[in-house]
């Protein structure tokens, strides 16, 4: 038998954890962050399929390396399995998903319903985003909703959690217990407004933030200096977005085509100069992690390795950010094992029983 892990409900991995004082959610990510451990989160590439195995397989490669998995909500305005659906599957298996909610596709009625539904399924973390414009995705003819913005969405979630009310003031019988997150982009203009914007997000209810891809460490350092001066690092956990670049060509493409991602020339030069650009991209990511983890006020990293998910484990391992700690990992429990042992014959042997046979064996 494998012993019960830290941050796991003894009655079942799919159940929320015991409430702790000072915690607003019953999830694993908040516990890790509040213990002061360096957190690692990542993003699950949402499948274009209706097969739950696709989600499980994509989550499996992060096993034992990350504290929470972002379930993206049609990122880049491209159609994929919904974040609510991915969260439903992940919570069943005991993972700690971060449910992303984008304001692009849903109005306040749908969003509040999803917050309740997600929380009921055991989603402890929700990340409130504005969302990319529809023009960025595969269906640019869609109607952009943007009924709320990320700030009012955060506030809506906070009101639901703390006041136990909908935005309309109607009461909830059981309020959701949530750890609220937001996104920051320190690398886009207006640069001097960005720290204040984080302050607004904290005022609206953000407890943790994940940043956009950080490739420019000096720029991020200046941002963090300002954020520390304003005293926001005590009120909010900051996770830095990092990720491997596949090649110099990809980097250039991202720089020109993906709004909001800032890649300095030095990074491209470094990739171009390398023999194996993919390996260099990974090494660059590890180097950035090693630099940013030393910046005071940084509580973790958010590793986004789109279509290179298999590198997440290597990046986390080689950067050594976990310091020997092993995040929760899905394991086969004793009872599961027992069922598997006893029922293996049924599962794997190909027996076709007829009702007549069954009656005979019963006698």
Partner 1 sequence: MSETIPAKDGPAVTQATLVKKAAPKSDYKPADVSPQRRVQRSFAIRLWSVRHSRLLEWFYARFADMFLLLHPLWKGIGYGRVEGPIKFVEKRVKGFMFDCRMCGQCILSSTGMSCPMNCPKQLRNGPCGGVRANGNCEVEPDMPCVWVKAWEGSQNMVHGDRILTVQKPVDQSLRETSAWLRVTAQAAAAREAAAAAKNGAANTGASA
Per-residue binding letters, 226-265, with partner 1 (x by CB under 8 A): ---------------x-x--x--xx-xxx-xxxxxxx---
Select the residue interacting with partner 1 from 78, 225, 283, 290 (CB under 8 A). 78
Among candidate residues 333, 355, 305, 235, the one with its CA nearest the CA of residue 43: 305
Q: In which residue are the tokens 């159609």 written?
A: 79
Both tokens assigned to 291? 């630099």
203 binds partner 1 (CB under 8 A): yes
Whose Cβ is closer to partner 1: residue 187's or residue 237's?
Answer: 187
148 binds partner 1 (CB under 8 A): yes
Least distance from partner 1 to the Cβ atom of residue 138, Å: 10
* H or E stretch at 267: helix 265-272
Least distance from partner 1 to the Cβ atom of residue 267, Å: 15
222 binds partner 1 (CB under 8 A): no
What number of other Cβ atoms are within 10 A of residue 31's Cβ?
Answer: 22
Whose Cβ is closer to partner 1: residue 244's or residue 327's?
Answer: 244
55 binds partner 1 (CB under 8 A): no
Tell me the C-alpha distance between 236 and 238, whole Å. 6
Cβ distance 97 to 68 under 8 Å?
Answer: yes
100 binds partner 1 (CB under 8 A): yes
Q: What torsion do the CA atoms of 129, 130, 134, 138 make, to the nearest 10 degrees?
A: -10
Q: In which residue are the tokens 């207006």 written?
A: 190
Among candidate residues 299, 300, 296, the one with its CA nearest the CA of residue 226: 296
Binding residues for partner 1, rule: CB under 8 A, are 43, 72, 75-76, 78, 100, 103-104, 108, 129-133, 135-136, 140, 144, 146-152, 155-156, 167, 183-185, 188-190, 192-193, 196-197, 199-200, 203-204, 212-213, 241, 243, 246, 249-250, 252-254, 256-262, 304, 306
């Amino acid at each position: 038998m494998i012993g019960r892990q830290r941050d796991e409900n003894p009655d079942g991995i799919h159940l929320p954890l015991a409430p702790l004082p000072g915690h607003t959610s019953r999830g694993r990510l908040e516990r890790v962050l509040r213990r002061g451990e360096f957190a690692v989160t990542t993003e699950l590439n949402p499948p274009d399929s209706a097969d739950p195995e696709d989600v499980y397989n994509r989550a499996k490669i992060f096993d034992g390396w990350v504290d929470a998995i972002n379930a993206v909500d049609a990122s880049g305005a491209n159609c994929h399995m919904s974040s609510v659906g991915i969260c439903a599957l992940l919570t069943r298996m005991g993972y700690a998903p971060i449910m992303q909610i984008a304001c692009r596709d849903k109005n306040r009625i749908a969003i509040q319903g999803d917050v309740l539904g997600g929380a009921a399924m055991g989603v402890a973390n929700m990340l409130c985003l504005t969302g990319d414009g529809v023009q960025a995705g595969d269906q640019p003819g869609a109607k952009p909703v943007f009924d709320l913005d990320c700030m009012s969405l955060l506030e809506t979630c906070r009101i639901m959690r703390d006041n136990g009310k909908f935005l309309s003031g109607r009461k909830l019988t059981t309020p959701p217990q949530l750890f609220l997150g937001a996104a920051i982009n320190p690398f886009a203009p207006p640069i001097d407004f960005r720290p204040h914007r984080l302050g607004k997000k904290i005022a609206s209810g953000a407890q943790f933030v994940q940043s956009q891809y950080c490739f420019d460490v000096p720029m991020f350092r200046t941002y963090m200096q300002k954020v520390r001066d304003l005293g926001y690092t005590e009120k909010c956990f900051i996770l830095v977005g990092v990720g491997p670049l596949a090649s110099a060509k990809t980097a250039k493409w991202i720089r020109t085509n993906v709004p909001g991602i800032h890649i300095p020339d030095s990074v491209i030069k470094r990739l171009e100069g390398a023999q194996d650009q993919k390996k260099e991209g990974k090494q660059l990511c590890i180097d950035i992690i090693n630099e940013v983890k030393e910046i005071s006020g940084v509580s973790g990293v958010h590793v986004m390795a789109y279509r290179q998910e298999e590198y997440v484990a290597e990046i986390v391992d080689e950067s050594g950010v976990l310091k020997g700690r092993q995040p929760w990992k899905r394991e086969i429990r004793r009872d599961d094992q027992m069922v598997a042992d006893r029922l293996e014959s049924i599962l794997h042997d190909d027996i076709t029983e007829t009702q007549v046979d069954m009656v005979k064996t019963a006698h």
